[in-house]
């Protein structure tokens, strides 16, 4: 069982840091003595731990205690640095909005999602995202302290991070910026899901991975040599638009017989009914599969074969070590994935067959939003070759007024400067000048994440084969 733990995010982070951060999150600013008493670490260990956290910008020194402490210096208090900030990920899928939030030092605070009718207007979708985020974070949404908002949308983007060159998304980034306050980056939502699966999920640690999502749309993402590939015009990963049937149905993209026209949820349900199957939705199809309905099983065998042949062709071109299949259709399990495996086995070059693993995705529907978080943080090695967003205009310098107690409700002064987004691998934002507010109340407890399902690995070939 793979747990979604912060350690996966930052493998080298120590438990001591977690303990200290957890205390600061729960109690607000504490001095070293209070921290030592509560976490039970030795002075030396606590000193080292705090030094690392201060150097990383995760913790800052807050206003010293007002009350004089005898002849000594006032006790320096330490607090989480809101400018090191929370980041948000939002996935605007075709029929649902998913959100994920990350706190200081990148621990996932929580995730949420809600389905909606297809074609919901953008302002309503953004409002839904805002409601979901507030449900997760409440007063912990530090608008001005957000390091960024990574947003997944359906379809390729022509390279502009604000969607300004893509008519369908024009204004979406600006609307999101108004609502959430941080820099907003748009990218393809399925590629963001691939990023998340490669960061925390079924392909974590694999340098070469191919991700396919079978949902209301069909898309994917490519990780090659440890980096996420975006491609010219942001087209990389549009696996759903590989043609599989020249005499097939017209596709939304303008093509004919694309994989999406046979392997999306709607396409599979339409084909099921056309063959005499009885079921209007995915649960009905799932029930039919579990009941060993021959129409459903025969259909999934064919669709799986088409998917597997596309994956084999891509595998031969890209050379992944692991192929991850996600989306709601992947939850149908072996009746779909075994035919995928067989076709992949038949089509992959022999040298890769016995090494290529086929896995179910691990992160569920929220993967795209989690990938948005990773994009917003921008510091993943997977993004090291990703184009840097265009620099934003420098803000007018703001005075750094002393924080008033009222500011503490939101975790920081409302007008504290925001850590500006650097380029990839750039320096972390410095603690905001003038930030020294005491956080007056215990924080909300962290939203526990559900355990992830185990990761079934379906080896493509169980026997060694000679290379061609």
What is the binding site for Zn ion (CB under 5 A)? 241, 251, 253, 255, 258
Least Å from the CB of residue 255 to Zn ion: 4
What are the backbone angles phi and psi of residue 64, rounded to the nearest 5°?
-60, 155
Least Å from the CB of residue 156 to Zn ion: 11
Residue with tokens 């206003």: 63
Partners of 59 in the β-ladder: 80
Least Å from the CB of residue 252 to Zn ion: 6
209-214 and 227-228 beta bridge pairing = unpaired
Cα–Cα distance between 53 and 159 in angstroms, integer?
A: 35
Residue with tokens 């149908």: 332
Least Å from the CB of residue 190 to Zn ion: 14
> Is 52 or 243 the residue whose CB approaches Zn ion more closely?
243
Least Å from the CB of residue 242 to Zn ion: 8
Cα radius of gyration (the chain) = 24
Of 442, 443, 431, nearest to 403 by C-alpha is 431
What are the backbone angles phi and psi of residue 76, rounded to the nearest 5°?
-75, 130
> Is 160 or 253 the residue whose CB approaches Zn ion more closely?
253
Neighbours of 159 (CB within 10 A): 13
Least Å from the CB of residue 259 to Zn ion: 8
Of 158, 145, 208, 63, nearest to 421 by C-alpha is 145
> Is 173 or 258 the residue whose CB approaches Zn ion more closely?
258
Cα–Cα distance between 86 and 376 in angstroms, integer?
A: 10
Cα–Cα distance between 410 and 374 in angstroms, integer?
A: 24
> Is 217 or 277 the residue whose CB approaches Zn ion more closely?
217
> Is 252 or 331 the residue whose CB approaches Zn ion more closely?
252
> Is 254 or 395 the residue whose CB approaches Zn ion more closely?
254
Cα 232-238-241 angle, rounded to 5 deg: 120
The strand ranges marked E within 248-392 are 322-326, 357-360
> Is 241 or 286 the residue whose CB approaches Zn ion more closely?
241
Least Å from the CB of residue 339 to Zn ion: 22
> Is 147 or 241 the residue whose CB approaches Zn ion more closely?
241
Q: Is 462 within 8 Å of 424 (Cβ atoms)?
A: no
Least Å from the CB of residue 236 to Zn ion: 15
Run of H or E residues at 342: helix 334-347
């Amino acid at each position: 069982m793979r747990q979604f733990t912060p350690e996966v995010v930052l493998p080298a982070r120590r438990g001591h840091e977690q303990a200290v951060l957890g205390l600061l999150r729960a109690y607000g600013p504490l001095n070293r003595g209070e921290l030592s008493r509560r976490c039970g670490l030795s002075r030396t260990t606590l000193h080292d731990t705090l030094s690392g956290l201060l150097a990383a910008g995760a913790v800052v020194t807050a206003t010293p205690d007002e009350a004089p402490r005898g002849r000594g210096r006032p006790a320096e208090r330490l607090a989480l640095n809101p400018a090191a900030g929370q980041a948000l990920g939002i996935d605007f899928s075709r029929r649902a909005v998913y959100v994920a939030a990350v706190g200081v030092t990148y621990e996932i605070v929580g995730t949420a999602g809600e389905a909606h009718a297809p074609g919901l207007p953008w302002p309503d979708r953004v409002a839904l995202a805002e409601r979901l985020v507030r449900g997760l974070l409440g007063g912990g949404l530090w608008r001005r302290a957000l390091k960024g908002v990574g947003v997944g949308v359906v379809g390729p983007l022509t390279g502009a991070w604000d969607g300004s060159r893509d008519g369908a998304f024009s204004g979406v980034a600006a609307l999101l910026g108004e609502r959430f306050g941080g820099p907003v980056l748009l990218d393809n939502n399925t590629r963001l899901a691939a990023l998340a699966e490669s960061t925390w999920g079924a392909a974590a640690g694999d340098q070469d991975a191919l991700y396919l999502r079978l949902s209301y749309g069909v898309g994917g993402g490519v990780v090659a040599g440890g980096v996420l590939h975006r491609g010219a015009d942001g087209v990389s990963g549009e696996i759903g638009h590989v043609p599989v049937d020249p005499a097939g149905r017209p596709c939304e993209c303008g093509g004919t017989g694309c994989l999406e026209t046979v392997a999306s949820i709607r396409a599979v349900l339409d084909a099921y009914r056309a063959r005499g199957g009885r079921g209007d939705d995915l649960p009905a199809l799932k029930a039919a599969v579990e009941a060993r309905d021959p129409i459903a099983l025969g259909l999934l065998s064919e669709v799986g074969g088409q998917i597997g042949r596309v994956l084999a062709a891509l595998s031969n071109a890209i050379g992944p070590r692991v192929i991850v299949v996600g989306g709601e259709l992947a939850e149908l399990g072996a009746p779909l994935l075994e035919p995928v495996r067989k076709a992949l086995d038949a089509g992959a070059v022999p040298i890769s067959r016995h090494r290529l693993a086929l896995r179910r995705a691990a992160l569920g529907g929220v993967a795209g939003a989690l990938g948005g978080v990773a994009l917003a943080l921008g510091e993943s090695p997977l993004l090291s070759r990703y184009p840097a967003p265009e620099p934003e205009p420098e803000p007018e310098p703001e005075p750094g007024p002393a924080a008033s107690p009222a500011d503490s409700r939101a975790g920081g002064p409302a007008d504290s400067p925001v850590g500006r987004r650097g380029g990839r691998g750039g320096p972390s934002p410095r603690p905001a000048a003038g930030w020294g507010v005491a956080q007056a109340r215990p924080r909300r407890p962290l939203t526990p994440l559900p355990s992830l399902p185990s990761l079934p690995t379906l080896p493509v070939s169980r026997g060694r084969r000679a290379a061609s």
